[in-house]
Amino acid sequence: MADHLTFLPEKSPPRSLAAQIFFEILYGILYFILYIPGLLIRPGDITEGDKRAVVLISGFFGSPLTWLKCRAALAAQGHPVYVVRMGFQIGNLRKYSEKLQVFLEEHNLSDVYLVCHSMAGLVAAHMGYRGRDRTRKIFTLGTPFRGHPVTFLFPFTYATLQMNPLSPFMRETKAKYRTLSSIQAVFARFDEILFFKHLNIPGRFDDVKLAQVGHANLFMGPAGIECITELIAAEEAKDPKPVPVKDANGKVVSAAAKPAAKVAARRTTAKPKKTKKPAKAKPTRKRR
C-alpha cells in the first residue's frame, strides 16, 4: 500500500507522456530565460481577496516571474498573493530564511500559506519563530529534503554546499521538518532534477504525488497549478477565514463578533420597563 496520496488532474487538459516531456523542456528553458529579468522585476502584490494570503517562493536559480500563471490561478480563487524576490538564489540559505521572515513582517502578513518550489522548501524550514508564527501551512514542491548528491560534483555556490547531504545545514533541516506538523510535500511521478525518489519524499502520510513528470511542471504546468490550488482550497475548507463585516457605524468587526454586537445594540436601545408603584399600606387599628 502506498504511503502517499496521488493527485490526478481533472480540470487541466490531458497530456500524453511525450507532451509532458516536451512541455517540461519548454518550462525549463523559460525558467532560465526569466532568471535575469527576475532579478530586477517582481510581480505586483495581489492584496484583494477574502481568503488567506499565499506567498510564493522560488528555488535554486529561480525567478519570481515564473509564478505568473500560478499567481493568477490563486487570485481567481480569492487569495491575496505575494511573490518573494530573494536575489540570485544561489547564496546562503539561512540569509534567505531571514529575508522571507522580514518579507512577512514588512507586509504585515499572518496566517499565510507558503508555496515553496524545490530549494525554497529548505529556506522556509529555517525561518525563526517570528516567521513560523505568521505561517499557517507550508506546501513544498519537489524539495530535496535529504539534500542532493550532485552537489558533491558541483560545490560552486554557497547554496550547493549547504544542500550537500552530509552538511550540517541538511542535518538541521531534517531535524526541523520532524518537528513541523503543518507541512505537505508534493512530488512528481518522475523528477529529472531529483531523480532519486527518496530525495523529495519526507515520508508523511499526506505526501502528494502528482501523476505527471517534471520538476518545473510542479508549479508552471497546468497539472501542477491545479494540484496547488486544490490542496490550498481543501486546507481552506477545513477552517475558512472569517469574513469581516461592518457594523452600523461602518466599523469593521469580525463575523464571530457580529452577533454579540447585535445583542449589545439591542440592550442599549431597549426601552426601560415600567415599574409599578408600591401599594399603600392599609392603616391598622391600635388595640387599647
**pLDDT tens-digit map of 19-75:** 999 999 999 999 999 999 999 999 999 999 999 999 999 999 999 999 999 999 999
Range in 151-155, 193-197, 211-215, 256-260 the model is least confident about? 256-260
Query: 214, 20 in Cβ contact below 8 A?
Result: yes
Query: 141, 228 in Cβ contact below 8 A?
Result: yes
**pLDDT tens-digit map of 86-134:** 989 999 999 999 999 999 999 999 999 999 999 999 999 999 989 999 9
Above 80 in pLDDT, residue 280? no
Whole-angstrom distance between the N-terminal and C-terminal Cα of the chain? 105
**pLDDT tens-digit map of 217-256:** 999 999 999 999 999 999 999 999 887 666 666 665 655 5
The helices-and-strands tally (H runs, E runs) of the chain is 11, 9
SS3 state of residue 242: coil
Torsion of CA 51, 105, 117, 115, to 10 degrees: -20
In order of start, what are the domains of the chain with their CATH numbers? 5-238 (3.40.50.1820)
Above 70 in pLDDT, residue 212? yes
Residue that has been written with the C-alpha cell 461602518 in this structure:
250
Residue 272: predicted pLDDT: 45
- Confidence (pTM): 0.84
240 closest CA partner among 132, 78, 73, 76: 78
Instruction: Find the mean pLDDT for residues 162-184.
Output: 90
Residue that has been written with the C-alpha cell 487569495 in this structure:
79
